[in-house]
A = this chain, B = another copy of it.
Amino acid sequence: MYRSHNCGELRMDHIGQEVTLSGWLQTSRDFGGMTFIDLRDRYGITQLVFNMDDEAEICGRARKLGREYVLKITGLVRERTNKNPNRPTGNIEIEVKTLEVLNASKTPPFTIEEETDGGDELRMKYRYLDLRRPVVQKNLIFRSELAIATRKYLSGEGFIEVETPVLIKSTPEGARDFVVPSRMNKGQFYALPQSPQTFKQILMVSGLDKYFQIVKCFRDEDLRADRQPEFTQIDCEMSFVTQEQILNTFEALTKNLFKETLNVELPDFPRMSYDDAMRLYGSDKPDLRFGMQFVEMNDFAKGKGFGVFDSAELVVGICAEGQADKFSNKDIKILTEWMQRPQIGAKGLVYVKCNADGTFKSSVGKFYSDDELKIWAEKFGAKAGDILFVLSGEDEKTRKQLNELRLEMGNRMGLIKEGDFKPLWVVDFPLLEWDEDSERFHAMHHPFTSPKKADMERMMKGDHETMKSLRADAYDLVINGSEIGGGSIRIHDRELQSKNFDLLGFTKEEAEAQFGFLMSAFEYGAPPHGGIALGFDRLCAVLNGQSSIRDFIAFPKNNTGRDMMIDAPSPIANDQLDELGIGLQEEVLE
């Protein structure tokens, strides 16, 4: 037996008991006659005492042990004279009687504490050591608990968890698939699912009624800072439901998860149309932890002789309360340059400071009188000490630029409070998005999303311009400016689905080859259905007020899709390639 108790559970009640503990040497302090060792496991830390007078041999051995050695000890629980109130086991210590070294340890390449001195690369290579840090373990334990709470809630609501296959079929629409060459069917490939979308719809056709799955999904994309090639979704689908019922169901799930894991009671989630979100925040995932809504200025800023505004499609601004003093000319110049970086791409930045005496200081002061700027201030609800930032240009681009500025200002002004959660449903998304470059429509959500009932006839019969105005029964769940998930009511009619594939530029043959099984299924009594998928990694991060999902994944990959610990991907043997009937292309071999 390796232990009678773990390193986190001994209390005053245990005093006088002989116990066996196993764990890792966290720290060791040697005071000549006495040696103290902090022994650590997942559950906590317990102080061990070795006494040179009573147990010279054991104490002598104990002095030589290094950090991260694995020890098994037996000893007597006794009260500490020098109690540590910051530690649950801080009232007791163990007077060690026997000591066994279960395993030695080389000196770790970084410190295994709450804060570590290890860089990202090193920590990923020695992930097993990084995972020993309580702060990282806490994340994994949180993730496990969040999954339990999710499953408990959804199964309580009658959802059935069904495992959908991982080896499926490549459908090049959307993101890039990871593919898997088939040995038994040479020249053919499986693909890893980007989501179980078609399978969950098939389960609805099969009458399963309420499905969910916490499931790995895969996308072979160039990795941005916070993307992973494999990620986890809470994937759900329901039959015979309206959008309203779906929103209510998953709002209730989200509230329940906040309550169960954080003991936070969320109020009812507001809903905002996609159009309003873009109009007021320039984003389909607005962060509602602070206001600073956009004010459209075309009506009162154009036609005053300032050419930049006059020629712009949109003039729009935000008001940063009480920030006038914080921005010197130099600060404004730096902020303007920040906005002009290629990542944002603003042409310039106009400001208006509201002075205490009712006058204004502005970069466009020579085009606008104080009386005119007073109207601006009124439209913004600005008061003395506030500063307005104004952008102009092409509508969509300008809104996106101002969104970046709004978020930046919210951060700088400390408007984002820890522990503040502002969920939001964004609804009424467009069905299709016109892509100027490829001159074709893209699905705003995905090709299975249903237009609103009122738009179906227009969709079946309308012209090109009509298609741009179609609205979908599609919705996103946004929390604190992060898209936590999205979903839609799905098409369940073969003709409508076929029309949608047409609009998206599929030939009949392509649609049939890739999604024929789904369209066939629609001919055998497919029920109305809809669902949602929530990003599980993202949800973990948002619940913990963190921005990176990587800290909630046990073995994340780096930005080139590499697992630094196991060193994957890696070359494989030629006979493996031969068995699969594939080879490397010349350029790769060189």
Contacts and interface: CB of A to CB of B under 8 A. Distances in A.
A148 to B, nearest CB: 6
Contacts of A384: none
Interface string A159-180: 0111111111110100011111
Given A525-B24, A528-B2, A565-B517, A170 B576 contact: yes
A526 interface: yes
B557 A70 contact: no
Given A190-B569, A568-B190, A525 B208 contact: no
A252 interface: no
A234 B165 CA distance: 17
A42 interface: yes
B584 A183 contact: no
Contacts of A161: 144, 147-148
Interface stretch (A29-37, A128-136, A275-283, A437-445): A128-136
Interface stretch (A97-105, A334-342, A463-471): A97-105
B554 A189 contact: no
A331 interface: no
Interface string A571-590: 11100101111111101110
B517 A567 contact: yes
Interface in A132-163: 132, 137, 140-141, 143-144, 147-148, 151, 155, 160-163
A230 B554 contact: no
A87 interface: no
B131 A206 contact: yes
Contacts of A170: 570, 572, 576
Interface in A221-267: 222-223, 229-230, 232, 240-242, 245
A560 interface: yes
Interface string A101-113: 0111110100000
Given A190-B568, A555-B199, A103 B563 contact: no
A548 interface: no
Interface in A404-427: none
Contacts of A164: 554-555
A220 interface: yes
A240 B22 contact: yes
A353 interface: no
Given A41-B207, A127-B202, A555 B165 contact: yes
A584 B585 contact: no
Contacts of A160: 140-141, 144
B103 A185 contact: no
Given A103-B522, A179-B180, A180-B180, 17 more contacts: A70-B525, A102-B527, A104-B525, A106-B523, A128-B206, A137-B207, A140-B160, A148-B151, A163-B553, A166-B218, A167-B569, A172-B576, A176-B579, A179-B572, A181-B181, A184-B223, A582-B585
Interface of A: 1-3, 6, 22, 24, 40-43, 68-70, 72, 102-106, 108, 126-132, 137, 140-141, 143-144, 147-148, 151, 155, 160-170, 172, 176-192, 198-199, 202-203, 205-209, 216, 218, 220, 222-223, 229-230, 232, 240-242, 245, 492-493, 513, 517, 521-528, 553-555, 557, 560-563, 565-573, 576, 578-585, 587-589
26 contacts: A2-B242, A3-B240, A24-B207, A24-B525, A43-B209, A104-B525, A106-B523, A128-B205, A131-B208, A132-B207, A143-B162, A151-B151, A162-B554, A163-B216, A163-B553, A166-B230, A169-B568, A170-B570, A182-B561, A184-B561, A187-B584, A189-B572, A191-B568, A203-B554, A517-B566, A583-B585
